[in-house]
């Protein structure tokens, strides 16, 4: 049993460690407010009840004592006719005495003790200390005197308009007070247990009620632009308020999906419409540059600038078209068995011609994989193009093929400027460029790597990057072997 409770505490601590309390969460605030309210209400009920019980105890005993006190002068008067005053007083005290009541009478100036009960009925006697306490102005309360609880009374005895003395009474209510203290303690324990049980139940219920919202948050967080059309929140057993929210959210998702599709269609149409005439313009500019022999320097430079800008824009439009096609799922990937060594050599030779750079190939054996030959070529050309752009002209570019962990890896390595760690996670996003100043000279659009990732994913492979600022970058494409 003891082990069980220790285990429970240990688990509780683990849960708290795993889910640190969020002080700003609705769950925490609601639980805290309700817990505070229940502590406040239960403790006020407990305080009121114990105060009331104490009042009842004091009132009952005070009334008792007062009743005896009203009889006192009458009896004294009766005895004073037959007996000397002191004897009459003592007789009266003996007469009115009840168990646990101590009575004593003092002269009017409190200096002389005239008579007192003999203590036979009581567990204590009136000593100097008690007398001093009883002679002070009294409140309607239970007085603690050593280990006893007393209700005190003081009154004057007038006989035939003469002040005979002062009567004092001390009623021992220790047993009743102890019972009351026990009852109050039990009430406090019950209140603490009830409050704890209420807080635990409420915390659990609040957590349960907010669960659908957390689920909604998780589902909404996992939705990306690509799966917007299929994305839907489905919540079972959620309260109707949350279900309504989920429905509205689903309607919003569907509107978003429509406008995202329209936007994609628009980009695709515009790119398509612009690419053809611009390719014609580029063709004319290039042929003009090749054939014209009588151009002056200014005309030649203007035509070259126009041709290079047209070329850049045709490339951008081609990228946008490729991405739009891939997004709408119109890109069809062939599944060829490709000899990677041959393909890499072909791409390297082509790239060497265009870039005038040394491209080395490292492969210990011949590797094959299933992929789309043309798209893999496009991927490698884009990566080599970047490696050329972002490394010094005297640095070689290395293409490696190897196998590890049942994967065939093709690596494009350069010893260029490298990519800062903070940008590496975003490098494959559309239009993301590391540093405008760095890309100003190279003139990219930030779409090359987005296309590379789309194509590699489409072929069922994966792409990763390892890079160090100032040392170079390694892009690794992995296919299943």
Which spans of this chain sit near ligand ADP (rule: CB under 6 A)?
Answer: 386-387, 390, 414, 416-419, 427, 433-434, 438-439, 444-450, 473
CA 239 from centroid of its chain's CA atoms: 21
**Given the complex with ligand ADP, which of 176 and 429 has the nearer CB atom?**
429
The distance of closest approach from Cβ of residue 462 to ligand ADP in the complex, given in angstroms and rounded to an integer, is: 17
**Given the complex with ligand ADP, which of 242 and 398 has the nearer CB atom?**
398
Distance CA 280, CA 137 (A): 115
**Given the complex with ligand ADP, which of 157 and 383 has the nearer CB atom?**
383
The distance of closest approach from Cβ of residue 382 to ligand ADP in the complex, given in angstroms and rounded to an integer, is: 6
The string of DSSP codes covering 398-437 is EEEEEEETTEEEEEEEE-SS---HHHHTTTTSTT--S-HH
Helix (H, G, I), strand (E, B) or coil at 105: strand
Give the phi and the psi of residue 167 in degrees, each rounded to 5. -105, 135
Q: Are 150 and 172 in contact (CB under 8 A)?
A: yes
**Given the complex with ligand ADP, which of 101 and 451 has the nearer CB atom?**
451
Neighbours of 48 (CB within 10 A): 10
Residue nearest to ligand ADP (CB): 444
Q: Which residues pair with 411 in a beta bridge?
A: 400, 476
The distance of closest approach from Cβ of residue 313 to ligand ADP in the complex, given in angstroms and rounded to an integer, is: 13
Describe the crossing of helices 174-222 and 26-82 by its angle, rounded to 10 degrees.
Answer: 170
Cα–Cα distances (Å) from 292 to 286, 287, 369, in that order, read 10, 8, 48
**Given the complex with ligand ADP, which of 80 and 382 has the nearer CB atom?**
382
The distance of closest approach from Cβ of residue 324 to ligand ADP in the complex, given in angstroms and rounded to an integer, is: 16
**Given the complex with ligand ADP, which of 102 and 388 has the nearer CB atom?**
388
> What are the structure tokens assigned to 225, written together?
């632009």
**Given the complex with ligand ADP, which of 448 and 461 has the nearer CB atom?**
448
The distance of closest approach from Cβ of residue 261 to ligand ADP in the complex, given in angstroms and rounded to an integer, is: 24
Tokens 């010094």 belong to 392
The distance of closest approach from Cβ of residue 434 to ligand ADP in the complex, given in angstroms and rounded to an integer, is: 3
Burial class of residue 176 in the structure, from the number of CB atoms within 10 Å of its CB (0-12 exposed, 13-18 middle, 19+ buried): middle
């Amino acid at each position: 049993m003891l082990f069980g409770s220790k285990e429970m505490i240990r688990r509780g601590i683990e849960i708290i460690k795993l889910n640190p309390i969020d002080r700003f969460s609705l769950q925490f605030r609601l639980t805290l407010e309700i817990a505070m309210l229940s502590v406040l209400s239960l403790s006020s009920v407990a305080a009121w009840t114990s105060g009331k019980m104490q009042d009842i105890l004091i009132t009952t005993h005070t009334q008792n004592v007062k009743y005896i006190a009203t009889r006192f002068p009458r009896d004294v008067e009766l005895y004073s006719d037959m007996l000397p005053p002191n004897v009459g007083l003592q007789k009266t005290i003996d007469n009115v005495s009840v168990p646990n009541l101590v009575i004593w009478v003092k002269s009017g100036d409190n200096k002389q003790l005239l008579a007192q009960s003999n203590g036979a009925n009581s567990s204590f006697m009136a000593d100097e200390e008690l007398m001093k306490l009883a002679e002070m102005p009294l409140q309607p309360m239970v007085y603690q005197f050593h280990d006893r609880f007393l209700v005190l009374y003081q009154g004057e005895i007038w006989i035939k308009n003469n002040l005979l003395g002062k009567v004092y009474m001390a009623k021992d209510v220790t047993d009743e007070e102890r019972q009351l203290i026990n009852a109050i303690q039990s009430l406090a324990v019950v209140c603490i247990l009830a409050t704890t049980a209420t807080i635990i139940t409420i915390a659990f219920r609040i957590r349960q009620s907010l669960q659908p919202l957390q689920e909604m948050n998780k589902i909404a967080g996992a939705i990306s632009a690509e799966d917007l059309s299929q994305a839907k929140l489905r919540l079972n057993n959620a309260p109707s308020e949350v279900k309504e929210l989920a429905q509205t959210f689903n309607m919003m998702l569907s509107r978003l999906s429509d406008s995202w599709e329209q936007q994609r269609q628009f980009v695709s149409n515009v790119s398509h419409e612009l690419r053809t005439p611009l390719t014609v313009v580029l063709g004319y500019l290039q042929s003009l540059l090749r054939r014209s022999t009588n151009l002056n320097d200014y005309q030649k430079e203007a035509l070259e600038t126009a041709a290079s800008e047209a070329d850049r824009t045709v490339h951008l439009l081609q990228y946008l078209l490729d991405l739009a096609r891939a997004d709408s799922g119109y890109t069809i990937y062939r599944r060829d068995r490709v000899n990677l060594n041959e393909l890499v050599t072909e791409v390297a030779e082509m790239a060497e011609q265009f870039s005038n750079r040394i491209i080395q190939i490292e492969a210990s054996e011949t590797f094959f994989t299933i992929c789309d030959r043309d798209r893999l070529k496009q991927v490698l050309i884009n990566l080599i193009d970047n490696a050329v752009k972002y490394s010094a002209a005297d640095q070689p570019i290395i293409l490696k093929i190897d196998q590890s962990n049942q994967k065939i890896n093709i690596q494009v390595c350069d010893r260029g400027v490298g990519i800062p760690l903070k940008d590496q996670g975003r490098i494959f996003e559309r239009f993301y460029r590391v540093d405008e100043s760095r890309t100003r000279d190279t003139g990219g659009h930030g779409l090359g790597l987005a296309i590379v990732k789309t194509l590699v994913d489409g072929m069922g492979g994966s792409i990763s990057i390892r890079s160090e600022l100032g040392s170079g970058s390694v892009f690794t494409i992995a296919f299943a072997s």
